[in-house]
Amino acid sequence: MKLALAQLNPTVADITGNLDLLKEAAHIAAEAGAELLVTSELFVCGYPPKDLIERQGFAAHCDEAIAQLATQLPPSLGVLVGHPTLRDVPSGRVANGCSLLYQGKVQATVHKILLPNYDVFDERRYFRSAAVTRCIEFRGHKLGVHICEDAWFHDPALPYLSEAHPPADPIALLAADGAEVFINLSASPFEAGKDQTRQALFARQAQKYQRPFVFVNQFGGNDDLVFDGRSFVLNARGEVVTQLPGFSRGIAVIDLQQLPDPVFPAGEDRSGDLLDALILGLKDYMRKSCFTDCVLGLSGGVDSALVAYLAARALGPSHVHGLLMPSRYSSDHSVADAIDLAKRLGIEHVTIPIDAIHAAFESTTVVGAELASDPVGLASQNLQSRIRGTIVMERSNHNGWLALATGNKSELAMGYCTLYGDMNGGFAALSDVYKQDVFALCRYINTVREGAEVIPTRVIDKPPSAELAPDQFDQDTLPPYEVLDGILAGLIDRQESVSSLSERFPKATVEWVAKRLDRNEYKRWQMPPGVKLSPRAFGTGRRMPMAAKFEYR
């Protein structure tokens, strides 16, 4: 049987647009001789649909769209498509399903068994879990069709094996029912290194049951999630015989009776993957939110330089607008570096000095007196940031451009950012990128991705500074970034205790970082969305209280 993998980029709630993508892929697959086309999880409505699932009529509309789609496909082609469904579900409940469409009809539907309820996943909030599953029969073949998490039952990092009453193992059920091939429809978000985890886990399933394994993943960005695709086919020995590229559309046809020789995908390129995820996440957030242009402040620092690069590559340089907003404390080299960057990227740049606005605040009766009492204090520093944030938002409002915030994960963790100032914006591209990775990505861009000095070396090499006070540098307030990022990765990404981290870092520093991290949760509740790159990104995947008294152990 010839099977086609359709790695496509659905938009949440755009049922008509998503089905148009599928119909186009179906005709390409049929012309290539495919008998069966496989799409990704919840493809009809896009993933994740969140509370749209609970909206009256939404799931029924998806079922109706599926029935209509079946009549519009090439008659010789079967299609496996993911969608929310009311089919064979108790009244008032919805299932995460996959249907086989063939010869104008919905021939069969299966439901997902394992509903993830960790990290960014809330599927138990929305869906009814199936208790059992059976193969789908198609042209005399028994297909072990299952959905995303159903293949992760044996992952030791997940709870299923340790539960007092574990659910059924979907792959084991399908194998016992005589599956000739396992087919997994997924919406598996990107994390650095996750591709290797998927392949290793699914390879063990293929080896255990001596059956090929087909994995089809969506690609593209939806809100804070980005999906890398990288769909693949494994032979019965668990070897990769086909893999679609990461972060891009792909359709591949493979004969399951005559699988090709194994291929050996290139090893992980962490910086390259992070860069691709950031560009695709920003591009799709803007496209799917109907923005064409963006605006951001250019400080001459490394963070805004990286965000400007991402925007230029995601949208094209003519759609990126940079604002240079020097204050009385801005150095000449910062202004020159920002202009240099804008010219290298080919983006528009405008200079708007803020000292006159700052002085106007100082001349007011009450505020001016307070600022005069501490002319370089925190209030004065934050005022400068808020003036800049106001200018960015004015340009955004007037022109209909999306404002980009440029803060990184290290700064957001420490509260080293200003509400209604540099945190202003509609998207925070670097919110899950630690400062050390910002530097690494800039160097990678120059040496590998571009092969030229696109981001000025001086921007990368100079000591980071907010330039809101005389002779100010980040490291006057924060620990060295190699120490800070190491502690933060432990506290945030791995949920380590203060005592555990104090075995590797100075205890006083660990405690100080932990307190700052927790104290500034209220700021992060007000930050724009960004691209999730790690197991614990700020936002939907990390939910911490704001009003709390923490004990550090």
List domains and CATH numbers for the chain: 2-260 (3.60.110.10), 274-474 (3.40.50.620)
Burial of 172 (0-12, 13-18, 19+ CB in 10 A): middle
- Nearest CA to 334 among 302, 369, 299? 299
Tokens 């997924």 correspond to what residue? 186
* pTM metric for this prediction: 0.94
Distance CA 84, CA 215 (A): 19
**Residues 263-311 pLDDT 10s:** 887 767 999 999 999 999 999 999 999 999 999 999 999 999 999 999 9
Tokens 């007092």 correspond to what residue? 164
The residue from 35, 41, 191, 467 that is catalytic is 41
Distance CA 117, CA 153 (A): 13
pLDDT (0 to 100) of residue 264: 83
Distance CA 512, CA 310 (A): 33
Tokens 């907003």 correspond to what residue? 325
The residue from 62, 98, 112, 191 that is catalytic is 112
* H or E segment to which residue 405 belongs: strand 402-405
Distance CA 214, CA 109 (A): 18
Tokens 């978000």 correspond to what residue? 189
HEC per residue, 149-187: HHHCCCCCCCCHHHCCCCCCCHHHHHHHCCCCEEEEEEC
Report how far apart, in Å, the C-alpha atoms of 539 and of each of 20, 31, 122, 531 are: 32, 43, 14, 10
Find residue 108's DSSP bridge partners. 100
pLDDT (0 to 100) of residue 66: 96
**Is residue 442 flagged as an active site residue?**
no
The bridge status of strand 219-222 relative to strand 225-228 is antiparallel
Beta-carbon contacts of 65 under 8 Å, excluding residues fewer than 6 positions away, are 15, 19, 44, 83
Radius of gyration of the chain (CA): 26
**Is residue 148 flagged as an active site residue?**
yes
**Residues 22-61 pLDDT 10s:** 999 999 999 999 999 999 999 999 999 999 999 999 999 9
Residue 190 near residue 227, CB atoms below 8 Å: yes
Whether residue 317 is preceded by a cis peptide bond, meaning omega within 30 degrees of 0, is: no
The residue from 45, 62, 135, 148 that is catalytic is 148
Distance CA 66, CA 289 (A): 25
Find residue 404's DSSP bridge partners. 427
pLDDT (0 to 100) of residue 70: 96
Beta-carbon contacts of 95 under 8 Å, excluding residues fewer than 6 positions away, are 84, 85, 86, 87, 88, 89, 111, 112, 127, 128, 130
pLDDT (0 to 100) of residue 109: 96
Beta-carbon contacts of 163 under 8 Å, excluding residues fewer than 6 positions away, are none
HEC per residue, 476-518: HHCCCHHHHHHHHHHHHHCCCCHHHHCCCCCHHHHHHHHHHHH
- Both tokens of residue 417? 């950012």
CA 211 to chain centroid: 32
pLDDT (0 to 100) of residue 467: 67
pLDDT (0 to 100) of residue 468: 73
Tokens 């203060």 correspond to what residue? 498
- Nearest CA to 495 among 512, 518, 478? 518
Residue 36 near residue 78, CB atoms below 8 Å: yes
Beta-carbon contacts of 194 under 8 Å, excluding residues fewer than 6 positions away, are 188, 228
Burial of 519 (0-12, 13-18, 19+ CB in 10 A): middle
* Sheet bearing 141-147, strands edge to edge: 136-138, 141-147, 181-186, 213-217, 232-234, 240-243
Backbone torsions φ then ψ of 409, nearest 5 degrees = -65, -35
pLDDT in tens, the chain (553 residues): 999 999 999 999 999 999 999 999 999 999 999 999 999 999 999 999 999 999 999 999 999 999 999 999 999 999 999 999 998 888 778 999 999 999 999 999 999 999 999 889 999 999 999 989 999 999 999 999 999 999 999 888 888 888 878 888 999 999 999 999 999 999 999 998 898 999 999 999 999 999 999 999 999 999 999 999 999 999 999 999 999 999 999 999 999 999 999 988 776 799 999 999 999 999 999 999 999 999 999 999 999 999 999 999 999 999 999 999 998 888 888 899 999 999 999 999 999 999 999 999 989 988 888 888 888 888 888 899 999 999 999 999 999 999 999 999 999 999 999 999 999 999 999 999 999 999 999 999 999 999 999 999 999 998 877 767 776 677 778 899 999 999 999 999 999 999 999 999 999 999 999 999 999 999 999 999 999 999 899 988 888 888 888 888 8
Distance CA 235, CA 504 (A): 43
**Is residue 98 flagged as an active site residue?**
no
Distance CA 51, CA 459 (A): 43
Report how far apart, in Å, the C-alpha atoms of 258 and of each of 2, 208, 254, 265 are: 9, 20, 8, 20
Q: How many residues does the chain have?
A: 553
Distance CA 127, CA 114 (A): 10
Taking the chain, what is the end-to-end CA distance rounded to the nearest angstrom? 58
